[in-house]
Structure 1
Amino acid sequence: MPVLVVGGGLSGLTTALFLGLYGVRPLLVEKHPGTSVVMKARGQYPHVMEALRIGGVADAVTAASPGGTGEFYMALAKTLSGPVLRGIMTEGEMAMSHVSPEDWAMASQERTEEILAARARELGARLRFGTELVSFTQDAAGVTAVLRDRAGATTRTVRARYLVGADGRHSPVRKALGIGMHGRGHLGDVFRVFFDADMSAAVSGLEGNVAGGGRFALFHLLDPVPGVFYTTDVPGRYGYIRGMSNDQPDYTGWTTAQCEELVRYGIGVPDLAMTVVGTGETTITCEVADRFSDGRVHLIGDAAKVVPAPGGLGGNTAVMDGFYLAWKLAMVVKGQAGPGLLDSHDPERRPVSEMIAEQQYTNTVERLGPDLDATGAAAPIHPVTQVFGYRYAAGGAVVREVGDAGELLEDPTAPTGRPGSRAPYVPLDAVGVPSTTSLFGRSFVLLAGTGADGEVWARAGADAAARLGIELPVHRLGGWEKAYGVTPGGASLVRPDRFVAWRAQGPEGVGGLEAALRAVLDRPSA
């Protein structure tokens, strides 16, 4: 088989989906009997929705959001009844329509996983739940893995060209490779309680029928103790998380009555009638794997990094890990790229993961763990820059330009179009082409102008595609050039994941197109 994916969470399912989209039929194994049934993360940033649009599931994810929209309310408040100290991502600072054609969605992880799994199967991926990885070895030609059916306790051996470790924060794959973790490590533990209650009076001041499930809401509460109150997909069901503190009690063996009092005290509603429907303790960790690749094995999702929840980029980054890795695996497996293309996985994804880990730690200190040591905490980076402004430079699968200092971030509202940067979103007037972003996702794309030079680029693109045996549609359009940093006679080569691989300022660069493709794809000329 071409690819074995171990782990059926957000990152593994996304990898399987996009491998199927690109014509590769993977096998995914997951030890649990199905997708997640535990209430977990929620929310999809617009850059994730762009990827899900390419994968054919964006509308389904939006429909699975509370009220069928991406609207939400988040606040940092003294208590549930106020005062609200500030809105979190609700004052327009999270608007991203100037850098993306997509809006937010607010689907829960458990519903999103169902959607991803169904689409992956539709595209030919083989999903085997209730199946665990027992062991694996790798050699120069592939990976040999032993799998066990947990229901029948039978084992079988499979052979794959590549293995993707998407098996969670405790990742047996990562541990088997001897890959360590670095970062801030264990931060503390939080206790969560899910309960049914009539909270309509408490949230009556919020728009969007919050109590009836028409809009997601979350409060980071500071008094009398740090905690989080939030809505769920079930109308009338809510979650409460007791935040981290130095005087955290031992919750082992707590009775239902004790959990009820914990919630009443934490949200400041002493006479609330409720029914506790679930409890659990969660370890909060902030660390990143020392490397994301080892031979023919590549780590993604929580196997590659574990970050605190505040900021919402843990699950979002897991989805993007799968999206960014799948096209590379597919092109290598199909012989369109050399194995060196996969060497870019670690240098492209690890620096971004480290940046996000530190940003989520900063958020955690403010919202969930005021007793944490804030010494050395990273200065906040605007969320729009975090998700649309990160770059791939040193070691990435791009043709780096002379003078590029290799900055990790740039301002996406003032894009440079440099190789390694995200291809800028430019709305277009062309019939059937709403924006540059709508052109990307299925293959490499060459953008060129509408004049005579554009015709030269079109011929060069067709010739290079034929010689390399790849798809390379050439789109001749006007109005995009300035944002991409080229003249009307220039061109920009964009990877399937919407990052600029190479560009030519003018028509004189046409002879470098095939060489650029060969460099990015690890296809040295004969």
Structure 2
Amino acid sequence: MTETEVLIVGGGVVGLSAAALLSWHGVSCRLVERRADLSIHPRARGFNPRAVELLRQIGLEPEVLKASEGFAGHTMRARVESLTGKELFRADLPTATDLDRLSPSPWALCSQDRLEPLLRAHAAKLGADLAFGVELTAFEQDADGVTATVRSRADGSTERIRATYLIGADGVRSRVRQRLGIALKGTPALLRQLSIVFKADLREHLGDRRFAICQVVNDTVEGLLVHDDTLTQGTLYIQYDPAKGQNSADYPWPRCEQLVRAAIGVPDLPVRILDTQSWELSALTATGYGEGRVFLAGDAVHVMPPVGGFGASTGIQDAHNLAWKLAYVLRGKAGVELLDSYEAERAPVAEFTVEQCLKRVTSGTGFGRPPADAGLVDDLTLTLGFRYTAGDPSTPSGEPGTRAPHVPLADGRSTLDLFGREMCLLAGAGWRAAVPDVETHVMTEPEWAARYGVSDDGAVLVRPDGIVAWRGNAPAELPGVLARALCRDTG
């Protein structure tokens, strides 16, 4: 029987992120994925600054930004009759200048099919055991761990794995979630979609425009058109309605070629279809994030309309939140009750994000600024303003339960670069308290205290995931604060 500390089921962006993060924390993990290889479908078209901040922490940001270089300037959202036809609307994603004060990390405009190979390689480099073409067939848990059976899809051979914990990151149809009996709630199958990945030379028809996403509306086709940085490959997303007797079989590749030509606006354009994939546009959240020693993450617990690029980024944040807590519990640095905070913290954030993405679809504001009465917060607030304490998301402020604000440091780094595997104390020059198991950084930057909401001689305790746990001026409070944050018995 193979043994590992954490078994991860699912080798998409969230499962691979979990593998990389756990390995970075020194936790042994085994990942199994039923597909033989990664998907060629772009799916997520970019990753927001918060997700990139988390990849930055484990040293992956440079590679992600390198993979994104060709997409620099691909910031236009537009509605057109066709790529060569009349432009009906245009708006741009936030620029790096807009983000400078909020984050050291930009939007990563590379697609999911480019990020996943980087995550897989990085996780393997850090020591994760990754097995593709292997599916979970059964698992059971007891007081000490989880015993799982997996099967090779190539030769049918089986293997038993003993793990201390299991993470189900196996998507909206999660077998792990189903075996736990956890339901999804919300709006299923709001729309049925078909993704058409194609090859075609778009350079002449794009001109100097570079789209993040383009909505096409004409008499032949309505859908979303995106292109990569080679300007020779793209994806067309169209809708079909089963209530009208339509299904994905109605779209053989020759018809898909015609639809692509209509979206581009060139009837005789050479087009080659690479693949098609049907999927449902839904707004769903799970009624639970796990049970006992089994946890769920990503699409297994939240599915949101792909407006604004929040789905995969939210899943990466799930993995990040869970990884440090598992590491602390496994190493005896925290009480097992710390794991209860995973659902308590992530579920409200996911529900709010799903709700906001659904409103962007139903109010028709996915390609423009939301009207004042739409009940929407702006994209940057939704990206960086989440909080794990009571209240609505707001601009980062240094309050406990919120993301620790970015402040540029004198050496060119960010305060976010100070947060790693241990609890971190940012302290004013007059602070003299030494706290075991806490990395202390004396702050000399004039801006830091105001950004974190403390006096010049105050201090802020930040968790390994960059979330503020406490702020104040009294050193005597720290031991108790630290014990509560890590669910340790204070005796």
TM surpasses 0.5: yes
* CA–CA separation in structure 1 for the residues paired with 2:48 and 2:199: 29
Matching residue within 175, 178, 182 for 1:175: 178
For residue 107 of structure 1, give the secondary structure of its aligned residue in structure 2: coil
Offset, 1:519:
0.5
Matched residue, 1:219? 214
For residue 307 of structure 2, give the secondary structure of its aligned residue in structure 1: coil
* CA–CA separation in structure 2 for the residues paired with 1:525 and 1:269: 71
Stretches of structure 2 that go unaligned for 5 or more consecutive residues are 368-372
Offset, 1:105:
1.5
Pair 386,369 (structure 1): closer, same or farther in 2 beyond 3 Å: closer
Matched residue, 1:427? 408
Task: Work out whether residues 71 and 104 of structure 1, in 8 Å CA contact, stay in contact via their aligned partners in 2.
Answer: no
Stretches of structure 1 that go unaligned for 5 or more consecutive residues are 211-215, 371-376, 394-405
For residue 282 of structure 2, give the secondary structure of its aligned residue in structure 1: strand
Letter of the 2:418 partner, please give it: L
Task: Work out whether residues 196 and 256 of structure 2, in 8 Å CA contact, stay in contact via their aligned partners in 1.
Answer: yes
Matched residue, 1:444? 423
Cα deviation 1:22-54 (Å, max 9, x = unaligned): 111111111112233333222121111111111
Task: Work out whether residues 307 and 366 of structure 2, in 8 Å CA contact, stay in contact via their aligned partners in 1.
Answer: no
Matching residue within 469, 475, 480 for 1:510: 475
Offset, 1:442:
2.7
Task: Work out whether residues 96 and 106 of structure 2, in 8 Å CA contact, stay in contact via their aligned partners in 1.
Answer: no
Cα deviation 1:88-140 (Å, max 9, x = unaligned): 44365993222001112222212211111111111111111121111111122
Is 2:348 the counterpart of 1:351? Answer: yes
Cα deviation 1:155-207 (Å, max 9, x = unaligned): 2222211111101110000000000011111112122323322322321141x
Letter of the 1:226 partner, please give it: E
Larger displacement relative to structure 2 (86-95 or 378-387): 86-95
Matched residue, 1:497? 465
Task: Work out whether residues 62 and 69 of structure 1, in 8 Å CA contact, stay in contact via their aligned partners in 2.
Answer: no
Offset, 1:309:
1.2
Q: How does 1:265-284 map to 2 (within 5 A)?
A: 265-284=262-281
Task: Work out whether residues 188 and 244 of structure 1, in 8 Å CA contact, stay in contact via their aligned partners in 2.
Answer: yes
Letter of the 1:260 partner, please give it: E
Offset, 1:346:
0.7
For residue 380 of structure 1, give the secondary structure of its aligned residue in structure 2: coil
Offset, 1:389:
0.5
Letter of the 2:255 partner, please give it: Q
Pair 522,255 (structure 1): closer, same or farther in 2 beyond 3 Å: closer
Letter of the 1:488 partner, please give it: D
Is 2:58 the counterpart of 1:55? Answer: yes
Letter of the 2:391 partner, please give it: E
Task: Work out whether residues 228 and 243 of structure 1, in 8 Å CA contact, stay in contact via their aligned partners in 2.
Answer: no
* CA–CA separation in structure 2 for the residues paired with 1:410 and 1:127: 38
Aligned-residue CA RMSD (Å): 2.5
Letter of the 1:523 partner, please give it: R
Pair 88,136 (structure 1): closer, same or farther in 2 beyond 3 Å: farther
Matched residue, 2:370? none
Task: Work out whether residues 9 and 168 of structure 2, in 8 Å CA contact, stay in contact via their aligned partners in 1.
Answer: yes
Task: Work out whether residues 385 and 410 of structure 1, in 8 Å CA contact, stay in contact via their aligned partners in 2.
Answer: yes
Matched residue, 2:44? 41
Pair 34,112 (structure 1): closer, same or farther in 2 beyond 3 Å: same
Q: TM-score, normalised by structure 1?
A: 0.85
Offset, 1:59:
0.9
Cα deviation 1:269-315 (Å, max 9, x = unaligned): 33433233322322222101111121111110111111121211111
* CA–CA separation in structure 2 for the residues paired with 1:482 and 1:166: 39
Q: Which runs of 4+ in 1 moved over 6 A?
A: 245-248
Matched residue, 2:395? 411
Tell me the number of residue pairs that the alignment of Structure 1 and Structure 2 aligns: 480
Matching residue within 201, 204, 207 for 1:204: 207
Matched residue, 1:400? none
Pair 160,73 (structure 1): closer, same or farther in 2 beyond 3 Å: same
Offset, 1:232:
2.8
Matched residue, 1:521? 486
For residue 333 of structure 2, give the secondary structure of its aligned residue in structure 1: coil
Pair 204,175 (structure 1): closer, same or farther in 2 beyond 3 Å: same
Offset, 1:437:
1.7
Task: Work out whether residues 392 and 408 of structure 1, in 8 Å CA contact, stay in contact via their aligned partners in 2.
Answer: no
* CA–CA separation in structure 2 for the residues paired with 1:34 and 1:118: 13
Matched residue, 1:397? none
Matched residue, 1:304? 301
* CA–CA separation in structure 2 for the residues paired with 1:95 and 1:24: 37
* CA–CA separation in structure 1 for the residues paired with 2:73 and 2:267: 32
